[in-house]
Structure 1
């Protein structure tokens, strides 16, 4: 231990030969028993981790409990506040100490044996702070399951599960000293934070979503994990253009490409997000180029997060098509939007009904409706929105609701706004939106698809 960080307690315990937790606990128990015989109440010995904190100056923020302090003061003959002072203050506390330079210590075999026992005790304590691998395996499996069922689980339920898994990872990090286990747990914390970022956005809570995405990126940086950092930066890019900062979104997306270890899925997702950002900037050429880049990712490279775990971390052909439809709407390209939205819905229909992610199918259906509204096809828009209006309130994510808000604005165009079908459809949208979780949370309606 750095000498500047030692306490007086460290120095005195070392002099007494009770530096190790086991030796200290034995002596503490003996003195505590004497105090009990004398009629005093006492506490059990401090746990190993608390003992180590007592030996480091500045680690203990509050004075130990009175029942513990009583034993420490009897053991060392000093007030507990003095015991927690820096070891350099020992001369102030021992005025009879000579001012002459101390003589070199004389070592004998007992000193060496004591030092060896201290080292052995510390090594034993470190070895005990190693988690059962099955605990980490279960945490990993729970995160994989949650990521894969994300699109078919109500956002509020995802939030509760992801929050519990993040807390579990944080607690376990305090219970192990294994570098390998720390790496696994920081990765788990990064995944849980990323899922919390995604679901916070779906619930319409932008500020927490940004905070969780940054936490995910930071956890990923701690262990040098490129794919999870890229995912987090993609989330930040997505939320930046959703919050009206498309230029910042482009920068985030481009920065995400610089992380190592990314597979085709990761890059396809980043190019699709970048395309949306360029769409907000009305930069047709750059948006169309990013769409092409997204569709051309076919090197065969994979990464564990986006491909092996997948689910919410994945970005399959249906999700790519849905995102591209949204970009085309930003560019007022009705034909392109309808083609991409139709492709997304067609791909989803190949899956079992229970496996079709509402977070993709809902937005794709709304995009299809809006593409038809651009051509004044009210009947076609109504047909596209029919399955959307059947979605239960708990599934009405902010991504779906912002698209519906954009569709509602389309219905105000002079060419169609007075038509009975347009008035009826507008009323349906308003009634549907009123019961969304995002609206109940008081979220505003910034548009990812601008009118």
Structure 2
């Protein structure tokens, strides 16, 4: 019988049903893990890697002719064979290469682990990736690490693999949140925290708790956020991990209108900054990227906290400080999302300070951000700017209302989460 070209998740499902094998036995025949089979079954139109296609063709060829014909008829009634695009070919080639590494390097599991750790760090540092790109890259590394976990029993290797899965799940949770999938982000973050705990990685666990607290702040649940941050503070190593927890807490205090809480927390965090320079936390300092929390993020976080309580002058001061730090980085390390978010907060602060022209100057670059690079954070921030523009403070200003219309157009044409 002619081979299926190409094999997809749909063809795999039909063949498995025809041979009537459970996932475990079918995975053994295809020479992949049961987790991989389950994943492929969910993605009916996905073109499968080259080695998997070869194994499936071999299994189909072993069947009697009547069963092969029955399979062909089932496939023809199913989902049409997708057109192979350049993107498909690149994706399949990438997956083939990764499967080859796994298959032929299992005797050198430590080498595979090293590759996965490097890939995880690269994703964390990939400031130019969109949220969707970051999610898919992190998911791929996490899947590979889980497959290796199923194949090894070495405690030291397992611990390091738990770190990789914890880090990539943390990055996936952050990306899912940016894409507007808040519930999924929370579930993935919980899994990340569990892996971090199993690995005994207190810095990663504290980072994930901080992420969960940030998501609670965005949902306007400051009490939930503060409960998570109290737990994070008990395990966060001194230095950047502890500083980050306190800056996130300042935002929580802002949401309940506690100005003294903001001041005290920011001052305590600033007192810890000196210790951050002497205590180099491996996750924030050496892995860095998304896991780092330097002066730029600290200032941006402070600006967001002051914005929640309407302190325009403080917002402008902190946002300008954050932008100066962010834009001092080499172009390849500058994050469009972070810079855009800070520009929006700067615009909001200037509007509260009655500086319409300065606000528009800050907003202009943001309004030209391509649709693919927009996320829930930018959308939420711009919604607040629109609300300020339409408030009593600016309602009678014709030029301000024109800007409000531009912002509304931006919000309308955004495709976050799609």
Name the TM-score, length of structure 2 as normaliser.
0.72
Choose from 81, 85, 109 the match for 1:132.
Answer: 109
In structure 2, distance between residues paired with 1:296 and 1:433: 39
The structure having more radius of gyration, on CA atoms, is 1
1:223 matches 2:199: yes
Choose from 322, 335, 339 the match for 1:361.
Answer: 339
1:337-379 deviation digits (Å, cap 9, x = unpaired): 0000001111122122332112221111001100011122211
Choose from 214, 228, 234 the match for 1:258.
Answer: 234
User: Is the 1:130–1:178 contact (alpha carbons within 8 Å) kept by the matching residues of 2?
Assistant: no
In structure 2, distance between residues paired with 1:205 and 1:188: 23
User: Is the 1:131–1:175 contact (alpha carbons within 8 Å) kept by the matching residues of 2?
Assistant: no
In structure 2, distance between residues paired with 1:415 and 1:215: 45
Matched residue, 1:337: 315
* 1:156, distance to aligned residue in structure 2 (A): 0.8
1:385-411 deviation digits (Å, cap 9, x = unpaired): 011112111111211111100000001
1:371 matches 2:349: yes
1:405-448 deviation digits (Å, cap 9, x = unpaired): 0000001122311322111111111111223332x54xxxxxxx
Matched residue, 1:12: none
Choose from 284, 299, 302 the match for 2:280.
Answer: 302
* 1:132, distance to aligned residue in structure 2 (A): 2.6
Matched residue, 1:281: 256
In structure 2, distance between residues paired with 1:412 and 1:432: 16
Matched residue, 2:36: none
User: Is the 1:130–1:175 contact (alpha carbons within 8 Å) kept by the matching residues of 2?
Assistant: no
In structure 2, distance between residues paired with 1:425 and 1:160: 35
Matched residue, 1:193: 169
Corresponding residue SS for 1:387: helix
TM superposition outliers: structure 1 runs of 4+ over 4 Å: 128-131
Choose from 390, 397, 412 the match for 1:419.
Answer: 397
1:190-242 deviation digits (Å, cap 9, x = unpaired): 00100001101111111011011100100111122101110111111111121
Matched residue, 1:142: 119
Choose from 175, 179, 187 the match for 1:203.
Answer: 179
Matched residue, 2:247: 272
Bigger share in helix: 2
* 1:147, distance to aligned residue in structure 2 (A): 0.3
In structure 1, distance between residues paired with 2:312 and 2:290: 28
In structure 1, distance between residues paired with 2:128 and 2:360: 24
* 1:293, distance to aligned residue in structure 2 (A): 2.0
Alignment of 1:4-43 (within 5 A): none
Cα RMSD, aligned residues only? 2.0
In structure 2, distance between residues paired with 1:354 and 1:179: 38
Moved more, 299-308 or 233-242: 299-308
1:403 matches 2:371: no
In structure 1, distance between residues paired with 2:194 and 2:302: 29
> Tell me, which stretches of 5 or more residues in structure 1 are unaligned?
1-42, 51-127, 442-451
User: Is the 2:313–2:353 contact (alpha carbons within 8 Å) kept by the matching residues of 1?
Assistant: no
Alignment of 1:59-78 (within 5 A): none
Number of aligned positions between the proteins: 316
